[in-house]
Amino acid sequence: MTLPIVRVPTLAIHDSSDRFPVRRIYCVGQNYAEHTREMGGDPDRQEPFFFSKPADAVVASGSVLPFPSRTQDLHHEVELVLALGEGGTDVDPAEAGRLIFGCAVGVDLTRRDLQAVAKKAGRPWDLAKGFDRSAPVAPIRRGRPPVAAAITLDVNGVRRQSGVLADMIWSPVEIVAVLSRYVRLEPGDLIFTGTPSGVGRLDRGDAVAAAIEGLPSLDFRMA
């Protein structure tokens, strides 16, 4: 039997024919106060917690996504995504910005019913968060992330989520620094930085439009 050919997932880079290779995907939970409250949490500035998705969960803007199996309660969570061009461990927050190659709009798709069952049983969230095509991401814009830009998500032309990046509990550079204490960050890593309030259900046929001021927009549709 011949060895399988495994291809590295890649994302488009704005205004470039180059592609960004994706190594790992890390996600920050509950990084906006209002979203933390809507999920039943305490928005005080506690140490951020992380979960992950497989690299091949990324899908490009403009995609039509099959509705995920094993869920009756699929949710959208619009987020700023950091794309790392350098790596490191125990990175100082003052130096964390140099690791960031660029940033993009992303949506963390979540099988909320599976997540609720896992939480109640004290089990991992892996299959609620890290399923196939669970990470739509727009083309990456090179450079540092915006600081006070508006972040929004519409479903079928109706505004569902609306916030400002400045409302993050932990800033992008702080997130990079804290995560680097737990794992060695490497070029190609993506970091989803949390979602504002207004997360909600997606149904078959829904059209999603996500945006952050100054970044290429993200659009996809559920089949």
Q: Which range of residues forms the domain containing residue 215?
A: 19-222
pLDDT of residue 40: 59
- For residues 35 and 193, is the Cβ–Cβ distance under 8 A? no
Domain annotation covers residue 118: yes
Please list, residue by residue across 116-125, b when 16 or more beta carbons sit within 10 angstroms of its beta carbon and e when fewer do.
eebeeeeeeb
Domain annotation covers residue 124: yes
Domain annotation covers residue 12: no
Domain annotation covers residue 59: yes
Domain annotation covers residue 160: yes
Domain annotation covers residue 129: yes
CATH at 123: 3.90.850.10
pLDDT of residue 36: 56
Domain annotation covers residue 13: no
pLDDT of residue 47: 85
Per-residue pLDDT tens listing for the chain (223 residues):
899 999 999 999 999 999 999 999 999 988 997 755 665 566 666 789 999 999 999 999 999 999 999 999 999 999 999 999 999 999 999 999 999 999 999 999 999 999 999 999 999 999 999 999 999 999 999 999 999 999 999 999 999 999 999 999 999 999 999 999 999 999 999 999 999 999 999 999 999 999 999 999 999 999 9
pLDDT of residue 41: 62
pLDDT of residue 33: 75
Q: How many residues does the chain have?
A: 223
Domain count within the chain: 1
SS (H, E, C) the chain: CCCCCCCCCEEEECCCCCEEECCCEEEECCCEHHHHHHCCCCCCCCCCCEEEECHHHEEECCCEECCCCCCCCEEECEEEEEEECCCECCCCHHHHHHHEEEEEEEECCEEHHHHHHHHHHCCCCHHHHCCCCCEEECCEEECCCCCCCEEEEEECCEEEEEEEHHHECCCHHHHHHHHCCCCCECCCCEEECCCCCCCEEECCCCEEEEEECCCCCEEEEEC
Domain annotation covers residue 4: no
pLDDT of residue 30: 86
